[in-house]
Amino acid sequence: MIRTTELSKSFHGVEVLRSIDLGVAAREIVVLLGPSGSGKSTLLRCLNGLEELSGGSLEVNGVRVDADMPSRRKRSSFREIRRNAGMVFQQFNLYPHKTALGNVIESLLTVKKLGRAEAEGIGERLLERVGLADKKDQYPSRLSGGQQQRVAIARALAMEPSVMLFDEPTSALDPELVGEVLEVMRQLAREGMTMVVVTHEMKFARQVANRIVFMDGGVVVEEREPEDFFRDPRSERARKFLNQLS
């Protein structure tokens, strides 16, 4: 479903991702771990077509982008990839002047060009899926952080993405609200969604991930099954990272 080949990314000549070779199979759940600044968010943004590639290539659900492709073709491929990859951020980024339902159906109206009635039908089902059917008319300011994040997940699902990318989706939440968001993510995993998740929730990583990808300094240092990674990290850097958490 996702394949990067020698993907690299620089900002102003500083390489922050170096030759990343990452494959994610359909229905697989990959958790990206690594210290702050290791390149996790940048990698997710590349997977979602939000960042230009400095080198290498990226393929998502059959759509390929090469760093050295002609820019017009590259733009149209990036656009297709963005539609194919739903992204959920730490800060929920909801439109404050739209209701929960309004947020969820925005892309259905503007990108998919559905009629309002049809879009609202789909939006209501999506809100139901994240447990918020009764909040559809509420504005974000009236929702808890956990509820806002669940609206953001429903909004990302509206485009029927083939992969979902999560960048620290629970890091901005009060501790008592983390569980409800993780539960929605577990449910998505059970339904067979392909997911790449950056999180500090180690219990979630252990229980839900099929694979842990540990990054440091812009490279993939270690790639293991969760059980093995947590029991016996191979690299010094991963060991240090895990020690600092506990």
CA 199 to chain CA centroid, Å, is 10
Between 16 and 189, whose beta carbon lies closer to ligand ADP? 16
Closest distance of CB 136 from ligand ADP, Å: 33
Closest distance of CB 184 from Mg ion, Å: 21
Encoded tokens for 70: 């002609």
Q: Which does 34 bind (CB under 5 to 8 A by kind): ligand ADP, Mg ion, none?
A: ligand ADP
Q: How many other CB atoms sit within 10 Å of the CB of residue 9? A: 23
The residue with its CB nearest to Mg ion is 41
Closest distance of CB 169 from Mg ion, Å: 12
Is 46 in contact with 82 (CB distance < 8 Å)? no
Between 51 and 120, whose beta carbon lies closer to ligand ADP? 51
Interface positions with Mg ion (CB under 5 A): 41
Pairing of strands 2-11, 55-60: antiparallel
Pairing of strands 211-216, 219-224: antiparallel
Between 131 and 217, whose beta carbon lies closer to ligand ADP? 217
Q: Cα separation of 215 and 217, whole Å?
A: 7
Closest distance of CB 186 from Mg ion, Å: 22
Q: Which does 103 bind (CB under 5 to 8 A by kind): Mg ion, ligand ADP, none?
A: none
Task: Kindly state the helix (H) or strand (E) to which residue 126 belongs, with its residue range.
Answer: helix 116-129
Between 120 and 167, whose beta carbon lies closer to Mg ion? 167
**Residue among 2, 16, 196, 209 that touches ligand ADP (CB under 6 A):** 16
Closest distance of CB 9 from ligand ADP, Å: 8
Q: Residues 32-71 vs ligand ADP: string with x where CB under 6 A?
A: --x-xxxxxxx-----------------------------
Find, among 28, 26, 23, the residue nearest to 4 by Cα.
23
Closest distance of CB 168 from Mg ion, Å: 6
Q: Cα separation of 62 and 36, whole Å?
A: 31
Question: Could you give the C-alpha distances from 104 to 25, 99, 240, 244, in angstroms and in order?
Answer: 27, 9, 41, 38
Query: With binding defined as CB under 6 A, does residue 170 bind ligand ADP?
Result: no
Give the Cα-Cα-Cα angle 126, 168, 33 (nearest 5 degrees).
125
Binding residues (CB under 6 A) for ligand ADP: these are: 11, 16, 34, 36-42
